[in-house]
Amino acid sequence: MNKVKVLVVDDSAFMRKFIIDLLSENPQIEVVGAARNGKEALKKVSLLNPDVVTLDVEMPIMNGIDALKQIMKEHPLPVVMLSSTTTEGAKNTIIAMQYGAIDFVAKPSGEISLDLYKVKEELINKVLLASRANVRVISKDNASEIIMNPMYDKRAHQRKKIVCIGTSTGGPRALQQVLTRLPENIAAPIMIVQHMPKGFTKSLAQRLDSLSQITVKEAEDGETLQNGTAYIAPGGFHLLVRESNGSLTACVEQSPPRNGHRPSVDVLFESISALTGYEKIAVIMTGMGSDGTAGLKKLKENGNTKVIAEAQETAVVFGMPRAAIQANVVDSIVPLEQIAEMIVKYVEGQGGKGDGHEPIFGSVH
């Protein structure tokens, strides 16, 4: 099997050596070069043609964000960011994800992390996963356009709705494509699980809120859910929805991880499956593994649910949508740029198998 060729970019000689040593311990990885800043990285990308780049966010001469923009423009390939966990570091990491980085690893203790070995397995796994990601879909992003509320069935509009979205690798960019297209008066709250560690989901919510017509925020325990607002599960916490006195409230808690995930898409979806008197629209998008499929089965068992899966052609990683499709719990499979439109149609009572979208669309291999 061919090894995954990696270029390591960091301004600290110590960190470069540390990262190279950690990656080189895996027999599937070959580090083909290193660079001290973004400018040097661009030259090495052309020269060495790596499969994956690990890229530090904070660097002199040319920082990681500017280097990433150039790489995605001139030579699109998978990039994994190495980020500090400071507020500024988290903010820049979220911007990097929206410019096309596949994923990121948080340095445990700042720019010079002597304890980087703590995230060795995470770094190796994310580099290997990035090497298999579909980068073509990132380099041809479409501009977002707000979906206008279509004509709707008045009876459908009177029924209470809730939207829930699950995503992982490639999710921040995918969420931007979906949330920025939703109209601010959408008649449902939107619950979101994005696999992401503590300290980064607040920056993600703030960034998406600044770009969207709807309100986007990190979910808070006990808050009453409002239509036209998207609630993102805080990193390190499960997000559930409870019915209380005729309204819905968010429940944020730290019960054990589910299949290695906290937040878990399954936990959110299962809590929503227990709601009575609500029509549910569930969306499963780009991500590795099968988180969300068990929850979708529960939603389908309890009825009143429409499920949208992202099509393979636009998914950075097709694992989570594929698992849901293969479990036969999906109503519509659409490319990323059509997901917001499908959500609005279902909320307004227009979606269904007679809307021109086949229940199974595109390849699931």
- The catalytic residue positions are 168, 195, 291
In this structure, the strands spanning 238-244 and 247-253 are antiparallel
Ramachandran area for residue 259 (φ above 0: left; ψ -120 to 50: alpha; else beta) = left
Burial (Cβ within 10 Å: 0-12, 13-18, ≥19) of residue 242: middle
H or E stretch covering 240 = strand 238-244
Half-sphere exposure for 179 (CA within 13 Å, toward CB) = 31
Strand partners, 161: 279
Q: What are phi and psi of 34, to 5 degrees?
A: -145, 155
Q: How far is CA 33 from CA 6, 20, 43, 54, 200, in A?
A: 7, 9, 11, 11, 29
Enumerate residues 6+ apart whose C-beta is below 8 A from 259. 266, 289, 290, 291
Tokens of 189: 């709250």
